[in-house]
Amino acid sequence: MKFCNFLLRVDGIREAARDDFEAVIEKGLRTYRPVRQKYLYSIEMEIVEERFFWMSCDYDDAKRFRDFVINRETGERQPNPRSKEQIEPKQQFFACYDCATHMLYLNDMTRRPFLEKYLSDTLQKEFKINNVYASVDEFCDRVKTIRGFQYTQVDNLFSRNSDLFMQIGNMWGQDLPSKIQLKMTYGDIPVHGGGRQIIDIFRHHKEEFDNVIIIGCDDEGVEQTFDFSSLLKHLEIHPVKDENEQFTPDEVKELLLKELR
């Protein structure tokens, strides 16, 4: 079983935090079916070691139903012993968010829309799952325009002479701040028509900044982000299926957390 890492942003301005997931556990439905979608999810959640948000889902199609089953021993058709209102969740999905590294790990990328909607509906905030790219070049190949940047400028040897730091300090008549968090939004600069040059400026002055995030937009108008502090990571674990061809959630959880620790 392979887990891939992703970025998880809240309202487009910050990383998800443990407080968010504690609220999700308190308010979230344990049986959930997104509006106008066919899958019904049975959800288990917990916070582990005050660091990891763990979610385990059993799910399946809530619409598809046949009024008969086939006896595998005799090959004959028999009436379906379950009703149309009873769902047999044969599929599984697992998610884990590391509150220390601010990374989300999913074993099935196709469940991203479900998780985004579940978290957003539960807390009435916009949760967005973004790809992690291995390099700036890969990111620029995937996006069409650069929409903006989000970063933290830190007060250190490299930024001490920055005009921005001096202006903020003089504005309020106070000592220079230790950090300045900024979000800049542009009118969709073509990535190969000026956007890449701006990215390179951040790369050449990376000692002055923390948590630099590039916000781009692909050909379909979907926002994509690149985090300079993130690296593409695939974690592979080897849980054993039971006699019903299902994974034991506790085993999956322990194997994954062992890797993340």
Residue type, 198: I
pLDDT of the residue at 90 = 92
Residues lower than pLDDT 50 in the chain = 157-160, 168
pLDDT of the residue at 153 = 67
CB atoms within 10 A of CB 210: 14
pTM for this predicted structure: 0.70
CA distance 69 to 78: 5
CA distance 211 to 230: 9
Report helix, strand or coil for 109.
Answer: helix
Nearest one of 121, 122, 139 to 130, comparing CA atoms: 139
Nearest one of 214, 252, 205, 202 to 96, comparing CA atoms: 252
Residue 251: CA count within 13 A, CB half-sphere? 10
| 221-248 pLDDT, tens digit each | 877 878 776 666 789 999 999 998 999 9
pLDDT of the residue at 152 = 72
pLDDT of the residue at 157 = 47
pLDDT of the residue at 49 = 96
CA distance 157 to 110: 45
CA distance 157 to 207: 9
Q: Alpha helix (H) ranges present in the chain?
A: 18-27, 112-123, 136-142, 163-172, 196-204, 249-260
CB atoms within 10 A of CB 142: 15
